[in-house]
A and B are shown apart, each in its own frame.
Chain A
Amino acid sequence: MDQIGRSVRREEDRRLTTGRGRYVSDIVEGNMVQLAFVRSSRAHARITGLDFTKAQSMPGVVGIFGPKDMGEAIKPLSFGPPPESAMEPTMPCPLADGVVRHVGEPVAVVVADNRYIAEAAADACEVEYETLPAVADVQEARKNQVLVYPERGTNVAAVVTRKTGDGEAALKRAAHIVQETFTIPRVVGHPMEPRAVVASFDPVTGRLTVEAATQGAHTVKMGLAAVLDLAPEKIRVVVPDVGGGFGVKNRIYSEDAVAAWLAIRLGRPVKWAGDRLEEFLATNQGRDQVHTASLGVDEEGRIVALADHFLQNVGAYTPEPLIVPAQTATCLPGPYRLPNFEATVEVVFTHTPACAPYRGAGQPEATFVMERLLDRAADAVGIGRDEIRRRNLVRPEDMPYENGIIGRDRQPVTFREGDFPGTLETVVEALRVGTSPDDGKLRGTGIIDFMEVSGGVLFEICRLELGRDGVVSLFTGTSSQGQGHRTSWAQIAADRLQVPMDQVRVVEADTDTVPMGLGTFASRSTITAGNAIVQAVAPFLDKCREEVAALWEASPEDVLWEDGFFRLAGVADRAMDLRTLAVSRPLDAPLVEASAQFMDANTSFGMGCHGVRVAVDPETFQISIEDYVICHDAGVRVNPLLAEGQVFGGTVQGLGTAWYEALRFDAQGQPLNTSFMDYLVPGSAEMPDFRLVKRDFPSSSNPEGLKGLGEGGTTAAGAAFASAVEDALRPFGVKITSLPVTPASIFAQVKGGVRP
Chain B
Amino acid sequence: MTEISMRVNGENRTVNVEDYWLLADVLREKLGLTGTHLGCEHGVCGACSVMVDGEVVRSCLMLAVQADGTEVTTVEGLGDPDHMSPVQEGFMQEHGLQCGFCTPGLIVTATHFLKENPHPTRQEVREALSGNICRCTGYQHIVNAVLRAADEGEKKAPSPR
Which residues on A are within 8 Å of B, measured CB to CB?
Answer: 9-10, 12-23, 25-26, 28, 114-116, 190-194, 241-244, 246, 275-276, 481-484, 641-642, 644-645, 648-653, 675-677, 681-685, 687, 689-692, 713
Given the known interface contacts A21-B100, A191-B135, A683-B133, the answer about A641 and B140 at a Cβ–Cβ threshold of 8 Å is no
Given the known interface contacts A192-B102, A676-B44, the answer about A681 and B21 at a Cβ–Cβ threshold of 8 Å is no
Given the known interface contacts A14-B92, A642-B95, the answer about A685 and B130 at a Cβ–Cβ threshold of 8 Å is yes
Q: For chain A, what secondary structure do more than half of its interface residues adopt (helix, strand, loop), or is it mixed?
A: loop
Report whether A483 and B98 are in contact in the complex, using a CB–CB cutoff of 8 Å. yes
Given the known interface contacts A18-B80, A19-B76, A683-B133, the answer about A276 and B40 at a Cβ–Cβ threshold of 8 Å is yes
Return the CB mask of B77-114 against A: 1 if under 8 Å, else 0: 01111101000110111010111111110010000000
Determine whether B5 belongs to the interface, using a CB cutoff of 8 Å to chain A. Answer: no
Which chain A residues border B81 with CB–CB below 8 Å? 14-15, 18, 20
Report whether A192 and B39 are in contact in the complex, using a CB–CB cutoff of 8 Å. yes
Q: Which residue of A lies closest to B45 (CB)?
A: A676
Provide the bound-state CA to CA distance between A12 and B37, in Å. 17
Report whether B137 and A649 are in contact in the complex, using a CB–CB cutoff of 8 Å. yes
Given the known interface contacts A19-B35, A19-B75, the answer about A193 and B122 at a Cβ–Cβ threshold of 8 Å is no
Report whether B138 and A648 are in contact in the complex, using a CB–CB cutoff of 8 Å. yes
Report whether A23 and B98 are in contact in the complex, using a CB–CB cutoff of 8 Å. no
Which residues of chain B from 7 to 48 have any CB-CB distance to chain A below 8 Å in the complex?
18, 20-21, 25, 28-29, 32-42, 44-45, 47
Which chain B residues border A676 with CB–CB below 8 Å? 40, 42, 44-45, 133
CB distance from B21 to the nearest CB of A (A): 7
Which of A481, A677, A685, A689 makes the CB contact (< 8 A) with B140? A689
Report whether A16 and B103 are in contact in the complex, using a CB–CB cutoff of 8 Å. yes
Which chain A residues border B35 with CB–CB below 8 Å? 18-21
Which of A20, A192, A651 makes the CB contact (< 8 A) with B135? A192
Report whether A244 and B92 are in contact in the complex, using a CB–CB cutoff of 8 Å. no
Q: Which residue of B lies closest to A13 (CB)?
A: B92
Which chain A residues border B141 with CB–CB below 8 Å? 644-645, 648
Report whether A13 and B40 are in contact in the complex, using a CB–CB cutoff of 8 Å. no
Report whether A482 and B44 are in contact in the complex, using a CB–CB cutoff of 8 Å. no
Q: Which of B20, B35, B130 has the most chain A CB within a 10 Å cutoff?
A: B35
Which residues on B are within 8 Å of A, measured CB to CB?
Answer: 18, 20-21, 25, 28-29, 32-42, 44-45, 47, 74-76, 78-82, 84, 88-89, 91-93, 95, 97-104, 107, 122-123, 125-127, 129-143, 160-161
Given the known interface contacts A13-B91, A19-B76, A192-B99, the answer about A243 and B42 at a Cβ–Cβ threshold of 8 Å is no
Provide the bound-state CA to CA distance between A10 and B160, in Å. 23
Q: Which residue of B lies closest to A688 (CB)?
A: B140
Report whether A12 and B28 are in contact in the complex, using a CB–CB cutoff of 8 Å. no
Report whether B92 and A677 are in contact in the complex, using a CB–CB cutoff of 8 Å. no
Which chain B residues border A677 with CB–CB below 8 Å? 42, 44
Report whether B139 and A645 are in contact in the complex, using a CB–CB cutoff of 8 Å. no
Report whether B99 and A242 are in contact in the complex, using a CB–CB cutoff of 8 Å. yes
Report whether B28 and A190 are in contact in the complex, using a CB–CB cutoff of 8 Å. no
Provide the bound-state CA to CA distance between A48 and B18, in Å. 36
Q: List 22 A-B contacts (CB under 8 A).
A: A12-B100, A17-B97, A20-B76, A22-B34, A25-B34, A190-B135, A191-B99, A482-B136, A484-B98, A648-B137, A649-B136, A652-B138, A681-B135, A683-B130, A684-B126, A684-B143, A687-B138, A689-B143, A689-B160, A690-B140, A691-B160, A691-B161
CB distance from B87 to the nearest CB of A (A): 8
Which chain A residues border B76 with CB–CB below 8 Å? 18-20
CB distance from A529 to the nearest CB of B (A): 18
**Which 9 residue pairs are nearest across A and B when measured between Cβ atoms?**
A19-B35, A243-B101, A482-B99, A482-B98, A16-B100, A648-B138, A652-B138, A26-B34, A676-B44
Report whether B97 and A13 are in contact in the complex, using a CB–CB cutoff of 8 Å. yes
Which chain B residues border A192 with CB–CB below 8 Å? 37, 39, 45, 47, 99, 101-102, 133-136
CB distance from A692 to the nearest CB of B (A): 6
Report whether A684 and B44 are in contact in the complex, using a CB–CB cutoff of 8 Å. no
Provide the bound-state CA to CA distance between A675 and B40, in Å. 8
Q: Which residue of B lies closest to A642 (CB)?
A: B95
Provide the bound-state CA to CA distance between A689 and B35, in Å. 29
Provide the bound-state CA to CA distance between A482 and B91, in Å. 14
Provide the bound-state CA to CA distance between A204 and B157, in Å. 55
Provide the bound-state CA to CA distance between A21 and B40, in Å. 18
Q: Which residue of B lies closest to A276 (CB)?
A: B40
